[in-house]
């Protein structure tokens, strides 16, 4: 096995062009497990850990540009205000040790249907920059996922960064698991209410071959907020609207039965998660949410 350790992003892209089969590593929290379990090693590993620019984030015209190498710990410590749902999701990842190493870019590249960062990125309409020695292109986050653990990246491409609006309203993320740490989600849900764009974003995790958007649920809630003139105010929306929102989120899921839960359970749980997320986003306290 060959290990390539470029310092510059240009060298990293050149290496990926020369070795399209090379597996990229940064935090190692996914790839190292694969190496440990695997019966055969990849011929080449491309270590992106030395490419300093991947660890950077910046603010740009009301947007956050997040380098692919930003860790979950850094998201929690530095971006909880700008990207609340993503930071909430980051808090549910693994353990302190895993959050110190695991990155947003790695979470996307692995493309597990259970990737915790995916629902918030979907809900905030994130764009992903895919770079290669040929140039770079931006795609919507939803176009990145081709299936379980498969992406639409070309063999010579690497994930450079993601870009999404700074939160202008309430965001929430919630996740079902057997304990409050070290769990792969049974299902998860992210909600981003964006009053400045009059937009409601949603993201569903672990309930389909790829992370999903609950489009109808989002449009429904946009209509409710507009009708009640409640985009700016925190006024409660009423139980029937919240219940309907939950039903629509549940209906958008395409879950299967697997070791972590059944499809029926996931559909049920998503309706509850969505209803509660909406309640929290509207400022309700836990005890008021059924």
Partner 1 sequence: MRLECVVNGEPRDVAGVRESESLLQVLRERMKLPGAKNACEQGECGSCSVFLDGKLVCSCLVLAGQAEGAEIVTIEGLADGDALSPLQEAFIETGAVQCGFCTPGFILAAHDLLQRQPSPSDAEIREALAGNLCRCTGYAKIIEAVRVAADRMTT
Contact segment (CB under 8 A) with partner 1 among 28-36, 135-143, 193-201, 205-213 equals 28-36
Cα end-to-end span (Å), the chain: 54
182 binds partner 1 (CB under 8 A): yes
CA 34, 25, 56, 163 torsion-angle sign: negative
Interface residue with partner 1 among 7, 52, 136, 181 (CB under 8 A) is 181
Site string for partner 1, 76-115 (x = CB under 8 A): ------------------xxxxx-xx--------------
Give residues with Cβ within 8 angstroms of 233, minimum separation 6: none
242: helix, coil or strand?
helix
Q: How far is CA 242 from the centre of its chain?
A: 23
Q: Which is nearer to partner 1, 94 or 169 (CB)?
A: 94
Question: In the complex, what is the shortest distance from the CB of residue 72 to partner 1, in angstroms, rounded to a whole number?
Answer: 12
The pairing of strands 57-60 and 63-67 is: antiparallel
Give residues with Cβ within 8 angstroms of 154, minimum separation 6: 130, 132
Question: In the complex, what is the shortest distance from the CB of residue 211 to partner 1, in angstroms, rounded to a whole number?
Answer: 22
If you ran DSSP here, which 8-state letter would residue 190 be given? Answer: E
Question: In the complex, what is the shortest distance from the CB of residue 45 to partner 1, in angstroms, rounded to a whole number?
Answer: 7
Q: Which is nearer to partner 1, 32 or 136 (CB)?
A: 32
Question: In the complex, what is the shortest distance from the CB of residue 182 to partner 1, in angstroms, rounded to a whole number?
Answer: 6
Interface residue with partner 1 among 62, 180, 229, 288 (CB under 8 A) is 180
Q: Which is nearer to partner 1, 45 or 269 (CB)?
A: 45
112: helix, coil or strand?
coil
Does residue 193 contact residue 200 with C-beta atoms inside 8 Å?
yes
Question: In the complex, what is the shortest distance from the CB of residue 243 to partner 1, in angstroms, rounded to a whole number?
Answer: 32
28 binds partner 1 (CB under 8 A): yes
Burial status of residue 168 (CB atoms within 10 A of its CB: 0-12, 13-18, 19 or more): middle
Site string for partner 1, 31-70 (x = CB under 8 A): -xx-xx----x---x-x-x---------------------
CA 110, 115, 117, 121 torsion-angle sign: positive
21 binds partner 1 (CB under 8 A): no
Q: Please report, for residues 58, 80, 195, 286, the alpha-carbon distance to residue 246 in angstroms, rounded to integers and kept in the order given.
A: 34, 25, 20, 16
Query: Where do contacts with partner 1 occur on this chain (CB under 8 A)?
Result: 1-3, 5, 25, 27-29, 32-33, 35-36, 41, 45, 47, 49, 73, 94-98, 100-101, 180-182
């Amino acid at each position: 096995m060959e290990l390539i350790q470029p310092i510059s992003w240009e060298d990293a892209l050149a290496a990926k062009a020369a070795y399209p089969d090379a597996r990229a590593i940064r935090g190692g929290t996914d790839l190292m497990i694969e190496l440990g379990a695997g019966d055969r090693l990849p011929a080449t590993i491309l270590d992106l850990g030395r490419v300093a620019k991947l660890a950077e984030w910046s603010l740009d015209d009301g947007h956050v540009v997040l380098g692919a190498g930003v860790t979950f710990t850094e998201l929690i410590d530095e971006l909880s205000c700008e990207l609340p749902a993503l930071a909430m999701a980051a808090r549910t990842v693994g353990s302190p040790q895993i959050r110190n190493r695991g990155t947003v870019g790695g979470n996307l590249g692995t493309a597990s249907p259970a990737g915790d960062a995916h629902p918030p990125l979907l809900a905030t309409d994130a764009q992903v920059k895919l770079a290669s020695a040929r140039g770079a292109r931006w795609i919507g986050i939803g176009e990145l996922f081709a299936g379980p653990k498969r992406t639409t990246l070309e063999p010579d491409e690497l994930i450079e960064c993601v870009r999404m609006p700074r939160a202008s309203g309430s965001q929430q993320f919630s996740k079902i698991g057997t304990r409050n740490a070290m769990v792969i989600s049974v299902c998860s849900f992210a909600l981003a209410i964006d009053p400045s764009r009059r937009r409601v974003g949603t993201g569903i995790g672990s309930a389909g071959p790829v992370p999903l958007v609950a489009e109808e649920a989002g449009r429904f809630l946009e209509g409710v907020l507009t009708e009640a003139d409640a985009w700016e105010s925190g006024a409660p929306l009423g139980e029937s609207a919240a219940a309907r929102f939950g039903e629509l989120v549940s209906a958008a899921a395409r879950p299967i039965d697997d070791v972590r839960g059944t499809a029926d359970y996931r559909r049920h749980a998503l309706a509850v998660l969505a209803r509660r997320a909406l309640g929290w986003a509207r400022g309700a306290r836990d005890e008021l949410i059924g």
